[in-house]
């Protein structure tokens, strides 16, 4: 009975099953689980990760790939299959290069480092975290060396999150962004500041959720194949195309924190729901390098979808012309006396700040740029971990003009390094840039443009489904971008959008 099942499909299916179970263990830990159970949950994730790695690098899947490639013909219908086999083989080779001992060491360190980081952040004491980060950097250097690279060791780490991207390409991208963004920031800061007190009034959480979900569904997020839960740090997670969950966090006295985070996560969710259902449980919904069940092509491409719905749509002037009335209806006491223009200006405030996740659109990428510069220098050995608080402060001064008051609001603010994720920060800016490219191209389609004018976002989502989502991981982010926009990574549309916005804010 089982012998009829293709061996490669069987092994990838089993791997995807285990990875989906890991996704569930994580989702549950962050949304449902009693807090006391965290330690045992860590053991469960570690065991399943070990089993997943065992399947991903096991003899069965290697043999299946080799055997099937051997017999594969050259017809065009076989191209997709060949791609699945070759991509998986390439990913296994990368996983192979990282010795098991290093994987185990990194996993063990992560558990410890996250605890110490959380404590250090609470106490605003980088020295506590320093030895853990030093070990993390050493391990990540070893991983970079094991994976291999042509120009810079940081390239090897970026590959894990954004295939095809290099530090050199990032540096050229960042140079263009700096040149384009700095004058925009100067212009914006020269104007009167909007009324932010408007956003700090009383916004009952249930009404926030209701309004945010209504819009998310207009964007195309399908609640029948998803759900919304409350968490501390919002995220999206997918299991199959039929089960893609988002999370949010709501504060009664800070309206944007709830709304825009939901639309951000809904953008991720729309991507996962839009992957070709035929790719479910296949190589094209399985990230072997990160041992992660996901349909999106890369971290950057994923972020392009979340930022597109959050910012290109959700912070646009037209969007609030269409929906501000509904928002007022939901919060008559707090918004009855506020006009749309005042509200729109408030949610588009430009204001250099210390915390990346709270940054506005114009200053956000500088938070990314400074982290990437630090990461690359750390991995190359050009700077030492112990000097990070000083280096961080210098860069924040240079790029944002601010004086960092303490480590909590500085070098300790992000969870990424404690999780061993060095090389993932670039994907936030890549997402901003690609999101704007895709949006600019999509808007050229008349039905998309008409929908954005009338408040019907499904033509936009269908365009994204066709050009981006459905491909899953069967194309690289570069291929998808070229298929969708006809060009490579290009910050021009992003800078144009922001420039238009600054002009509107005049």
Residues of this chain that bind its own copies (CB under 8 A): 1-2, 13-14, 17-18, 20-21, 24-25, 28, 32-34, 36-37, 40-41, 43-44, 46-48, 50-51, 104, 108, 224-227, 239-240, 242-243, 280-281
CB burial of residue 294 (10 Å; 0-12, 13-18, 19+): buried
Catalytically annotated residue among 162, 265, 310, 373: 265
224 within 8 A of 461, measured Cβ to Cβ: no
169 within 8 A of 183, measured Cβ to Cβ: no
Q: How far is the CB of 9 from its own copies (least distance, A)?
A: 12
Between 48 and 289, CB nearer to its own copies: 48
Between 286 and 432, CB nearer to its own copies: 286
Let me know if 265 is a catalytic residue: yes
Which residue's entry shows tokens 């112990």?
A: 386
Going by the DSSP 8-state scheme, the letter that residue 124 receives in this structure is T
Going by the DSSP 8-state scheme, the letter that residue 455 receives in this structure is T
Q: How far is the CB of 258 from its own copies (least distance, A)?
A: 21
Between 36 and 446, CB nearer to its own copies: 36
Q: How far is the CB of 39 from its own copies (least distance, A)?
A: 8
Between 217 and 342, CB nearer to its own copies: 217
**Gap between the Cα atoms of 251 and 240, Å rounded:** 31
Beta-strand pair 226-230/243-248:
parallel
15 within 8 A of 290, measured Cβ to Cβ: no
Residue 144 β-bridge partners: none
Q: How far is the CB of 287 from its own copies (least distance, A)?
A: 17
Between 285 and 400, CB nearer to its own copies: 285
Question: Comparing C-alpha atoms, which of 345, 255, 314 is closest to residue 457?
Answer: 314
Look at residue 226 and give its three-state secondary structure.
strand
Cα Rg of the chain, angstroms: 23
Q: How far is the CB of 19 from its own copies (least distance, A)?
A: 9
Q: How far is the CB of 469 from its own copies (least distance, A)?
A: 18
**Gap between the Cα atoms of 144 and 153, Å rounded:** 6
Angle between the 167-189 and 492-504 helix axes, to the nearest 10 degrees?
10
Between 48 and 205, CB nearer to its own copies: 48
Q: Give the residue numbers marked as catalytic.
A: 265
């Amino acid at each position: 009975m089982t012998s009829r099942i293709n061996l490669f499909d069987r092994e990838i299916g089993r791997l995807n099953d285990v990875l989906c179970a890991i996704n569930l263990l994580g989702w549950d830990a962050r949304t449902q689980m009693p807090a006391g159970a965290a330690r045992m949950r860590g053991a469960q994730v570690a065991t399943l990760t070990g089993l997943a790695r065992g399947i991903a690098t096991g003899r069965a899947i290697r043999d299946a790939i080799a055997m099937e490639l051997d017999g594969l013909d050259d017809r065009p219908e076989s191209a997709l299959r060949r791609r699945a086999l070759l991509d998986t083989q390439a990913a296994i080779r990368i996983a192979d290069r990282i010795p098991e001992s290093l994987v185990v060491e990194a996993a063990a360190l992560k558990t410890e480092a996250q605890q110490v980081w959380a404590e250090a952040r609470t106490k605003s004491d980088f020295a506590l975290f320093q030895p853990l980060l030093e070990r993390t950097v050493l391990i990540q250097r070893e991983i970079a060396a094991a994976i291999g690279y042509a120009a810079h060791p940081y390239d090897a780490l970026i590959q894990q999150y954004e295939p095809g991207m290099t530090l050199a390409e990032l540096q050229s991208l960042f140079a263009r962004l700096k040149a384009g963004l700095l004058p925009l920031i100067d212009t914006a800061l020269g104007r009167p500041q909007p009324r932010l007190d408007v956003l700090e009034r009383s916004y009952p959480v249930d009404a926030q959720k209701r309004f945010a979900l209504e819009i998310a569904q207009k964007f195309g997020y399908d609640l029948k194949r998803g759900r919304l839960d409350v968490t501390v740090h919002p995220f999206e997670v997918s299991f199959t195309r039929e089960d893609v969950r988002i999370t949010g966090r709501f504060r009664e006295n800070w309206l944007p924190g709830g709304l825009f985070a939901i639309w951000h996560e809904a953008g991720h969710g729309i991507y996962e729901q839009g992957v070709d259902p035929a790719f479910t449980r296949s190589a094209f919904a399985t990230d072997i390098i990160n041992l992660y069940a996901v349909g999106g092509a890369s971290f950057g491409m994923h972020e392009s979808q979340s930022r597109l719905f959050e910012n290109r749509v959700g912070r646009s002037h037209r969007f609030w012309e269409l929906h501000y009335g509904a928002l007022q209806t939901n919060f008559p006491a707090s918004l009855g006396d506020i006009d749309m223009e005042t509200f729109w200006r408030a949610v588009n405030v430009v204001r250099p700040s210390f915390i990346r996740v709270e940054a506005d659109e114009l200053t956000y990428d500088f938070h990314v740029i400074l982290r990437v510069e630090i990461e690359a220098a750390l991995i190359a050995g050009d700077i030492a971990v112990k000097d990070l608080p000083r280096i961080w402060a210098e860069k924040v001064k240079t790029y944002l003009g601010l004086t960092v008051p303490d480590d909590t609001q500085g070098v300790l603010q992000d969870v990424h390094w404690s999780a061993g994720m060095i090389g993932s920060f670039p994907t936030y800016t890549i997402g901003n840039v690609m999101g704007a490219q895709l949006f600019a191209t999509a808007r050229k389609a008349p039905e998309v443009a008409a929908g954005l004018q009338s408040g019907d976002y499904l033509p936009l989502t269908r365009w994204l489904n066709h050009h981006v989502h459905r491909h899953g991981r069967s194309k690289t982010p570069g291929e998808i971008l070229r298929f969708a926009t006809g060009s490579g990574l290009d910050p021009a549309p992003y800078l144009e959008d922001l420039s238009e916005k600054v002009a509107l804010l005049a």
